[in-house]
Chain A
Amino acid sequence: MTILHDEAIVLHRLDYSETSQVLVLFTPTHGKVRAIGKGIKRGTKSRIAVGIDLLERGTAVFSTRGERSETLATLTEWKPRSAFLGLRERLPRLYAAQYAAQLTAQLTADWDPHPALFEALGDCLLCLAEADEVLGVVVAYQQVLLREIGLQPRFDCCSGCGRSTELTHFSSLEGGLLCRHCEPAHVEKRELTPDALALLRESPCFTPSSPLEPPRAGSPGEAAPAPATPAPGPTLPSAAVRGAFDVLNYHIAHILGREPQLADLLVPPAQRRRLH
Chain B
Amino acid sequence: MSSESIESLARLKAEFQKLPGIGPRTAERLVFHVLREPREAAAALAQALLDVKDKVIHCRVCYNLTETDPCRICSDPRRDQEEIWVVEQPRDVLAMESTGLIHGAYHVLMGHIAPAEGIGPEHLTLEALRDRVRRGPVREVVLALNPTLEGDGTALHVQSLLADLAVKITRLARGLAVGGQLEFATAGMLEAAIRGRTPA
Partner-contacting stretch, out of B78-86, B101-109, B126-134, B149-157: B149-157
Convert B176-194 into 0s and 1s, putting 1 for each residue whose CB lies closer than 8 angstroms to a CB of A.
0000000000111001100
- Contact check, A80 vs B186: say whether CB atoms are below 8 A apart: yes
> Is there a chain A Cβ closer than 8 Å to B116's Cβ?
yes
Give the distance in Å from the alpha carbon of A12 to the alpha carbon of B160 in the complex: 26
Interface string of B118-161 (1 = CB under 8 A from A): 10000000000000000000000000000011101100110010
Known: A53-B148, A95-B115, A262-B115. A83 touches B187 (CB 8 A): yes
Q: Are B148 and A98 in contact (CB under 8 A)?
A: no
| Given A18-B21, A98-B115, A261-B115, also A88-B186 (CB < 8 A) | no
Any A CB within 8 A of the CB of B20? yes
Q: Once bound together, how far apart are the Cα atoms of A49 and B20, in whole Å?
A: 24
Q: Which chain A residues border B160 with CB–CB below 8 Å?
A: 91
10 A–B contacts, CB within 8 A, in A order: A51-B148, A83-B191, A85-B192, A88-B156, A89-B156, A90-B156, A94-B149, A94-B153, A261-B118, A262-B115
Asked if A94 and B116 make an inter-chain contact with CB atoms under 8 angstroms apart, the answer reads no
Q: How far is the CB of A269 from chain B (nearest CB, A)?
A: 14
The answer for the CA separation of A263 and B192 in the assembled complex, in Å, is: 29
Bound together, the chains give a CA A233 to CA B116 distance in angstroms of: 23
Cβ contact within 8 Å between A81 and B187? yes
Residue of chain B at shortest CB distance from A98: B116
Q: Are B153 and A91 in contact (CB under 8 A)?
A: yes
Q: Quick check: A265 and B150 within 8 Å, CB to CB?
A: no
B interface list, Cβ under 8 A from A: 20-21, 115-116, 118, 148-150, 152-153, 156-157, 160, 186-188, 191-192, 195
Complex contact B188–A80 (CB within 8 A)? yes
- CB of A81 to closest CB in B, whole Å: 6
| Contact A53-B149, Cβ < 8 Å, known A102-B116, A265-B115 | yes
The smallest beta-carbon distance between A61 and chain B, in angstroms, is 16
Interface residues contributed by chain A, number (CB under 8 Å): 28
Tell me the nearest residue of chain B to A19, going by C-beta.
B21
Interface: A75 (CB within 8 A): no
Besides A53-B148, A90-B156, A261-B118, 8 other A-B contacts (C-beta < 8 A):
A12-B116, A54-B148, A82-B191, A83-B187, A85-B188, A88-B152, A95-B115, A98-B149
* A203 touches B (CB below 8 Å): no
Given contacts A54-B148, A262-B116, contact A88 B153 (CB under 8 A): yes
Choose one: A18, A53, A95; the contact of B20 (CB below 8 Å).
A18
Does A17 lie at the interface of the complex (its beta carbon under 8 Å from any beta carbon of B)?
yes
Interface string of A249-268 (1 = CB under 8 A from B): 00000000000011001000
Contact indicator A87/B115 (Cβ below 8 Å): no
CA A17 – CA B21 in complex, angstroms? 7
